[in-house]
Structure 1
Amino acid sequence: MVAEALPKTLEAAPLVLGLQPAALIDNVAPVDWSLLDQIPGDRGGSISVQKDELDHILKELNTHISVAPLKKMAGGSVTNTVRGLSVGFGVATGIIGAYGDDEQGQLFASNMGFSGVSISRLRKKKGSTAQCVCLVDESGNRTMRPCLSSAVKIQAGELSKEDFTGSKWLVLRYAVLNLEVIQAAIRFAKQEGLSVSLDLASFEMVRNSKSELRKLLESGNIDLCFANEDEAAELIRGEQEAGPEAALEFLSRHCRWAVVTLGSKGCIAKHNKEVVHIPAIGESIATDATGAGDLFASGFLYGLIKGLSLAECCKVGSCSGGSVIRALGGEVTPENWQWMNKQLQLKDLPVPAIHN
């Protein structure tokens, strides 16, 4: 299969690179209980579906949607983080991955390009682009149904040293199915002097492939690790000490920066011997929790890039994470970037010098 990559010789290397092996389109819609009752599987969480199931859900959505139209956007954890850094913080970012030669693939590439993210490391392949249906109930809880099985994605052998040259950070999301390409990306990143940030993805992912994950963490190649409370609990399940503090301690033994987010209770973080506990931002109304952790990572990384203290990095993350949950989907609206900037001002934190 021949993969086309756009030329990147004329552009400066992005400061932050994200690895999203398979480009993904999110189909986000507000729904009521009656539709959720017709979708196979439990409410909440994420269960993979086949193409015919995805088409069935999208067809059902078209007959049910009355409150607001279906929103389609480039999705995926890493996508959300690098797009947030670009649009909300003015940081030069790029994305590495593959997209299909279909309508969804074109939408992914154009959405990222429009957001200022360099797409010259995206490979176009013959085949379909991954999709996910994100159903959001009136409480802001989401039910995810991703369709990934037949989607094109980048392979480890397609990466090159030049993809990473000149950048400073590589952003990853843990997935055991993508472990080979993740490991290849880390090898190139370390050869080129990049720091590596890893998100633990989901408690199911941690539970089902804990030994591979712990081996990755214990390699010493992960500089920054983000875990939410459920992922943290799963990571150290069965050990004498449990709880987020014990998970933070485990992560900090292997990573320079460790962060455990605690939802409405804020977050805890550790760097060297410093530990901070930062409360959640109180002024945010949750419409849709999609992307909260991804945008927290955007803010935290921006803080590190700007040389802020550990506590300040957490506070910026709290503001950016709070901004995305005020609307549907993992892409922050212009109004909510303005809301974030106001929160940063109120907390005497640096406001990005860009116009959203």
Structure 2
Amino acid sequence: MGVEIQQKIKNENNNNDSNDDGFAAAPAPLILGLQPSALVDHVARVDWSILSRIPGERGGSFPVAAEEMKFILSEVNTHVTASPETTSPLITIAGGSVANTIRGLASGFGVPCGIIGACGNDDQGSLFITNMASSKVDLSRLRLKNGSTGQCVCLVDELGNRTMRPCLSTAVKVKADELTTADLKGSKWLLLRYAIFNIEVIQAAIKFAKQEGVYVSLDLASFEMVRKFRLPLLQLLESGSIDLCFANEDEAAELLRWSDNSVDPETAIEFLAKHCQYSVVTLGSKGCIARHGKEVVRIPAIGEAKAIDATGAGDLFASGFLYGLVKGLSLEECCRIGSCSGGSVIRSLGGEVTPENWQWMYKQMQTTGLPVPQPDNFVI
């Protein structure tokens, strides 16, 4: 099954060894991302009117059924607006929050990274593999299955705000009983994104990570996901298994809305710090606030940049922050690098940083006295 795609993975990893599934073998990546279903993003600039006709709240990210996805795509194809930043008003790239973070770490920071998940043997799957492999992401833990690859429509309004509607109901995915300790062995960090429909595989991955001494990072996904499935999320945090938690301001507010406490970022950081070694709340154009133990830092956004598209801003912030952590930098430096990398992706359409915008980020880091990564020569 999917022999051509399997061979592509082997060729692009340039390794003759393979595991039992036929994928190219590789040393354990420093950072692994769990994205149970590979995902392809369809990113388009749209006007306000289309957002009023699609299901769900504007600005969030919540799953839709296959028929809803078809409707949204048809609306997009009819009403999509052109962008001065791209020759096409609609771009299609490998997507998903975890994939965005992993790809950024590998291509922009040179950190050895891999992804755990499943990919369909279809055109979207082939696109996902090609895009991630070209960014030097290890794909040896990506299972190839007969079926469809997940898709997501990312609608970007004239202010650069994005509304996301993923469709994973028919997508192939890696299941909890398919994971083993071998998937995590030798790595240092495991990155997760909260999703109730992936809760079993998330729990299994955390179990194996802890057995292998791997740190766990959790992104809260979206305010809609937190609002609708707050209790399982609280249970996950209270388990003490999450070492690092990322939330944006809206997600943090939803997380604390059940209590009588105020929902400001400082209160959210204090709450998350009870359960996680590191906690970060991103504040968009206002920067971020982070805590490690008793240390709390708050930094402004770095660099002047008009947001063309906010897609991936939090994901790339996580890339920079994690780069700082694995390099042993201070909490403040981690936040500043995260601010630089988050600022780099919003300068163009989609969740992938362009070569020009990586150079913009390196310049920002150099100007502010931060250590500039050497992507082709990463050393711990």
Instruction: Answer whether TM exceeds 0.5 for this pair.
Output: yes
Partner SS state of residue 91, structure 1:
coil
For 1:185, the equivalent position in structure 2 comes to: 205
Q: Using the alignment, how far apart are the partners of 2:151 and 2:179 within structure 1?
A: 23
For 2:256, the equivalent position in structure 1 comes to: 236
Question: How many angstroms does 1:338 deviate by?
Answer: 0.4
Tell me which of 347, 365, 371 is aligned to 1:326. 347
TM-score by length of 1: 0.94
- Aligned 8 A contact 1:73 1:108 in 2: yes
Q: How does 1:194-273 map to 2 (within 5 A)?
A: 194-242=214-262, 243-273=264-294
AA in 2 matched with 1:119 = L
Tell me which of 75, 89, 103 is aligned to 2:123. 103
Q: Using the alignment, how far apart are the partners of 2:59 and 2:80 within structure 1?
A: 19
Is the counterpart of residue 50 in structure 1 residue 52 in structure 2?
no
For 2:304, the equivalent position in structure 1 comes to: 283
Going from structure 1 to structure 2, the CA distance change for 1:240 and 1:181 (only over 3 Å counts) comes to same
- Aligned 8 A contact 1:82 1:94 in 2: yes
Partner SS state of residue 274, structure 2:
helix
Partner SS state of residue 305, structure 2:
coil
Going from structure 1 to structure 2, the CA distance change for 1:254 and 1:48 (only over 3 Å counts) comes to closer
Moved over 6 A (4+): 1-4
Partner SS state of residue 290, structure 2:
strand
The one-character-per-residue Cα deviations of 1:166-202 (angstroms, maximum 9, x if unpaired) are: 1100000011111110010011111111111000111
Q: How does 1:38-77 map to 2 (within 5 A)?
A: 38-65=53-80, 67=82, 68-77=88-97
For 2:147, the equivalent position in structure 1 comes to: 127
Partner SS state of residue 118, structure 1:
coil
Bigger drift between 300-309 and 131-140 goes to 131-140
Q: Using the alignment, how far apart are the partners of 1:331 and 1:187 within structure 2?
A: 31
Question: How many angstroms does 1:6 deviate by?
Answer: 4.0
For 2:371, the equivalent position in structure 1 comes to: 350
Partner SS state of residue 94, structure 2:
strand
Q: Percent identity?
A: 68
Tell me which of 119, 132, 140 is aligned to 2:160. 140
- Aligned 8 A contact 1:5 1:120 in 2: no
Query: What RMSD in Å do the two structures reach over aligned CA positions?
Result: 2.1
Is the counterpart of residue 153 in structure 1 residue 173 in structure 2?
yes
TM-score by length of 2: 0.88
**Aligned pairs, number:** 355
Q: Which runs of 5+ in 1 are unaligned?
A: none
Is the counterpart of residue 23 in structure 1 residue 28 in structure 2?
no
AA in 2 matched with 1:318 = S
